[in-house]
Chain A
Amino acid sequence: MGRFVDLTLAGLTSGAVYAAVALALVLIWRSTRIVNFAQGGMLMITTFIAYTIISHGGSYWLALVVAVAGGLVLGAVVERVLVRPVEKRSPLDAVVVTFGLLVLLQGAAGMLFGGTPRSYPPAFGIAGFQAGGRQLLFAPNDLWIVLVVLAVMAALALVFRKTSLGLRMRATAFAPEVARLLGVRVGRMLTLGWALAAAVGALAGVLIAPSTFVSPTAFDAVLVFGFTAAVIGGLDSPPGAVVGGLALGIVLSYVAGYLGSDIVTLASLVVLIAVLMVRPQGLFGTAKGRRV
């Protein structure tokens, strides 16, 4: 029973990070109908920026802020330079371009930082809380991760629902042509959407870095899990991304604990296909799925 509780708590923590990555993918999908396969590479680069600041004596907080700001800039640049030309073409083109960017970033990071994984300091202690005379597999740093992700989601929900900027962004995602006619600067909204998404991704990178280490390929699995979480949730639903992320985190934690950590990525594939077989539109998705 204690082990079950531990695995659930550990799953909750990693699930929160998957949820953040999933949220970044959903933000981009809603506005441009593109799955950003470079997400893992983009958050890897910003995490390396944060790592460089810390290894030069900067504080955790400075590194976090710079990483998120770096994400904003990177997202905006990527949308303007790479995504704009392929946005209206077949989905295959966008997949290949973002996948190409992933590898370009991985190669560039390898050139600059080498392939050896580096350790990244956590914000708070990693010794588990005491409860009922035993140590839980849930530490102050895990609580920090969960709280930050929840706060970011709440803030995004507020922006989208309560501000005029959020309204314009939703209009752009929902009906770009109509939004343009009504005076929304659609291009600018798309750039902003990518920038926001990349910033959320950058945050997720810094949060998960202490447990995965930092290397050019360390976040490949995080991208896969984020994608799976987003698809489980429905790919165009932010609450779905959160629920999908947490659910996936917990399921994968059980798989790692009871079956073996080597097959976790494969298990996420099984979960992905199982969900799509039953509900092709995802749990919270509204888009009509295709039945075969």
Chain B
Amino acid sequence: MTALASAAPLRLWRQSTVVRHLTLSVVGLVVLYFVSTSLDAFANLQLAQVCYTAIATAGLTVLSGLSGQISLGHGAFVAVGAYTTALLLEHLQWPLALVLFGSVVVGGALGCLVGVAAARLRGPYLAGATLALAVGLPSLADYHGLRDLLGGANGLIVTPEPPPLSLGESFPLERWQAWICGLCLVITLFLLSNLASSRLGRDMRLVREDEQAAALSGVPVARTQIVTFGISAAFAGLAGGLFAIVNNLAAPGAFTLALSLSLLTAAVVGGLGSLAGAVYGAVIVTLLPNWTADLAQQANLPRAIYANIPLVLYGLVLIVVIVVFPGGIQSGVRKLGALLLRRARPDRPQESRQET
């Protein structure tokens, strides 16, 4: 009897994905709490940046990894989220949670719109169309009809809310921002990981593998692709809202092609389709520019050199990872895990895991 009772939680862990993801989310929140309280203000700011980058990357990796669509223009959806947050905060003064939800909705709506076009386009066509979106959309802020509303090339200043007084007078703003972004990241990962194991997630994988077979087995191919694009863009919108709050700014210069590129790099480096990979990738692309700037300062490199080191590295990493390690970091982690497991339990037959 006692053996059975103690086995029950383990069985629940094995059988219920929601329980598993909930537990992991709670663990994630606890880790974030301890990490953020032990870091100084600047490091907390970086933590916040990692979190919103990971949110956008997670959205992108679901799009590319699960449904096989590609977007070179996710920076455009981040921009839309940032501007939505800036406008809602400045003009309507809605509460923060509602403002961020607004960014999710607007990002998702635009994503569905693009998704309608995307459902007709394949691989390189879709990549080209989203590239045009990434290059073209930020210039809208300086269009003469919208310049007054969107602040032209200077963009909009966003005044973030101070941390609630209940946390104490001297609670640092950066830690508060890290908490907001961290909470949003955990919610994002929870929702997306459940999505991946849901019926819709299975449809997405089917569509990615073989559209005709998917259609024949009754999967609505176009609708699945449009919905995926919308979901992916919605999380990019959320990332944009957080971007505006953390950086106090929504300006066209922040949403260049380089931003879209860094998101793609994060997704590819981490391992396309893996949510854990999205987090590793986001850590790398967020911290890389800082590390290179520090190194360059020590070595007294000229600005033109070190300002471009991240770009060169993004490019190199994209090429090398795709050509040599197509699975990214996550596939390395999986292989390592499988190896350790085999060492620990040599009698157990090796389970081959499907990589997504």
**A292: contacting residue among B132, B222, B261, CB under 8 A:** B222
- Residues of B298-333 contacting chain A, CB below 8 A: 304-305, 307-319, 322-323, 326
Q: Which of A85, A269, A272, A273 has the most chain B CB atoms closer than 10 A to its own CB?
A: A269
Chain B residue numbers with a CB within 8 Å of A240 are: none
Q: Which residues of A contact B254 (CB under 8 A)?
A: none
A99, A108, A110, A262: the one contacting B261 at CB < 8 Å is: A99
- Is there an interface contact between A96 and B128, defined as CB atoms closer than 8 Å? no
Task: Bin chain A's interface residue count.
Answer: 35 or more
Are B70 and A97 closer than 8 Å at their CB atoms? Answer: no
The smallest beta-carbon distance between A8 and chain B, in angstroms, is 23
**Within 8 Å of chain B (Cβ to Cβ): is A18?**
no
For A95, what are the chain B residues with a Cβ–Cβ distance below 8 Å? 70, 72, 123-124, 127
Contact indicator B132/A227 (Cβ below 8 Å): yes
Tell which of A34, A97, A111, A260 touches B124, judged by Cβ atoms closer than 8 Å: A34
Q: Contact at B117–A99, with CB atoms within 8 Å?
A: no
Q: Is B136 in contact with chain A by the CB < 8 A criterion?
A: yes
Check if A262 sits within 8 Å of B139, measured CB to CB. yes
List residues 116-133 of chain B with CB under 8 A from any CB of chain A: 117, 119-125, 127-129, 131-133
Of the candidates B143, B221, B318, B326, the one whose C-beta lies within 8 Å of that of A103 is B318
Per the 8 Å Cβ criterion, residues 53-102 of A in contact with B are 82, 85-86, 89-97, 99-102
User: In the bound complex, do residue A269 and residue B264 qualify as a contact, i.e. CB atoms below 8 Å apart?
Assistant: no
Q: Are A100 and B311 in contact (CB under 8 A)?
A: no
Contact between B309 and A107, CB atoms less than 8 A apart: yes
- Tell me whether A99 and B318 are in contact (CB under 8 A): yes
CB contacts (< 8 Å) of A100 on chain B: these are 265, 314-319, 322
Q: Residue on A with the closest CB to B324?
A: A85
Please name all residues of chain A whose beta carbon is closer than 8 Å to the beta carbon of B317 when the two chains form the complex: 100
A266 on interface, CB distance cutoff 8 Å: yes
Chain B residue nearest in CB terms to A85:
B323
Q: Does A37 contact B (CB under 8 A)?
A: yes
Does the CB pair B140–A273 fall under 8 Å?
A: no
Once the chains are docked, how many angstroms separate the CA of A268 from the CA of B139? 13
Question: Least Cβ distance of B145 to chain A in Å?
Answer: 8
Query: When the two chains form their complex, are residues B315 and A105 in contact, meaning their CB atoms are under 8 A apart?
Result: yes
Are A262 and B304 touching (Cβ within 8 A)?
A: no
List of A residues within 8 angstroms of B265 by Cβ:
100
**Contact B127–A263 (Cβ < 8 Å):** no
Proximity bits, A251-281, B CB within 8 Å = 1, else 0: 0000000001011111111001100110010
A window 170-216: CB within 8 A of B:
216
Q: Are B117 and A277 in contact (CB under 8 A)?
A: yes
Q: Are A224 and B319 in contact (CB under 8 A)?
A: no
Interface class of chain A by DSSP: helix
Q: Is A152 an interface residue (CB 8 A)?
A: no
Determine whether the beta carbon of B319 is less than 8 Å from that of A92.
no
* A223 to B135 Cα, complex, angstroms: 10
Complex CA distance for A290 and B315, rounded to whole angstroms: 32
Assess A96 versus B122: contact at CB under 8 Å? Given A110-B311, A272-B132: no
A220 to B139, CA, bound (A): 13
Query: Min CB distance, A227 to chain B, in Å?
Result: 4
Please indicate which of the listed interface residues A96, A224, A227 has the most CB atoms of chain B within 10 Å of its own CB: A96
Give the distance in Å from the alpha carbon of A91 to the alpha carbon of B121 in the complex: 13
Chain B residues with CB under 8 Å of A111's CB are 304-305, 308-309, 312
CB distance from A261 to the nearest CB of B (A): 9
A93-B268 Cα distance, complex, nearest whole Å: 10
Measured in the bound complex, the distance between the Cα atoms of B135 and A190 in whole Å is 30
CB distance A92 to B128 under 8 Å? no
Q: Are B137 and A266 in contact (CB under 8 A)?
A: yes
Write out the residue numbers on chain B whose beta carbons fall within 8 Å of the beta carbon of A85: 323
In chain A, what residue has the closest Cβ to B323?
A85
Shortest C-beta distance, A194 to chain B (Å), equals: 16
Give the residue among A91, A97, A103, A265 with the most B Cβ atoms within 10 A.
A103
Is the beta-carbon distance between A91 and B123 smaller than 8 angstroms? yes
Q: Is A47 an interface residue (CB 8 A)?
A: no
Produce 1/0 per residue, B140-178, CB < 8 A to A: 101111000000000000000000000000000000000
CB contact under 8 A between A108 and B127, given known A85-B323, A262-B143:
no
Partner of B308, one of A101, A107, A269, A276: A107
Beta-carbon contact of B264 and A96 below 8 Å: yes
Interchain CA distance A280-B128 in the complex, whole Å:
14
Q: How far is the CB of B234 from chain A (nearest CB, A)?
A: 21
Contact mask B91-135 → A, CB, 8 Å, 1/0? 000000000000000000000000001011111110111011101
Q: Which residue of A lies closest to B72 (CB)?
A: A99
**B308 & A266 in contact (Cβ 8 Å cutoff):** no
Contacts A103-B258, A111-B312 known; A220 to B304 CB distance under 8 Å? Answer: no
Q: Is B270 an interface residue, CB under 8 A from the partner?
A: no
User: In B219-238, which residues have CB < 8 Å from any A CB?
Assistant: 221-222
B249 interface residue, CB < 8 Å from A? Answer: no
B68 within 8 A of A: yes
A93: chain B residues within 8 A (beta carbon): 322, 326
The contact sample of 19 A-B pairs, CB cut-off 8 A, is A37-B72, A85-B323, A94-B124, A95-B123, A95-B127, A97-B319, A100-B314, A107-B309, A107-B313, A223-B131, A224-B132, A227-B131, A262-B143, A265-B132, A266-B139, A266-B140, A267-B136, A276-B125, A280-B120
Q: A110-B308, A265-B136 are in contact. List 9 more A-B contacts (CB 8 A).
A: A95-B124, A96-B70, A100-B322, A104-B311, A106-B315, A224-B131, A224-B132, A276-B117, A276-B129
